[in-house]
Amino acid sequence: QGEVENLVQAVGFDRCTILRPAVLLCKRQESRPMEWITQQFLRVVALVFPTAYSVPVETVARAMVANVLQPGKGKVEVLENRAIHELGKA
């Protein structure tokens, strides 16, 4: 667990979901050539292993909305990349 995750949990919310996405696939306004190259490579990898190393930002957004609308699975829930993909499809 990261330090920020521990601090968020310490606040004492009734329910807290922490998302841990892999590399976010999105268009950026600023120029980051190496990131662009990495994203292009991961888009190809995602065709074979869709949940392994990347996730489109739209999938993360859908997962966040779906998570808010469903009953919680405990006080603190951590969603790794694969779970984000699954929830983002719902």
Residues 6+ away with beta carbon under 8 Å from 87: 62, 63, 66, 67, 79
Whole-prediction pTM: 0.74
Q: What's CA 28's distance to the chain center, in Å?
A: 17
Q: What is the pLDDT along the chain (90 residues), one digit of tens a residue?
A: 678 878 888 888 888 898 999 888 877 777 778 877 887 787 787 777 777 788 999 999 999 999 999 887 778 888 999 999 999 987
25 residue type, one letter: L
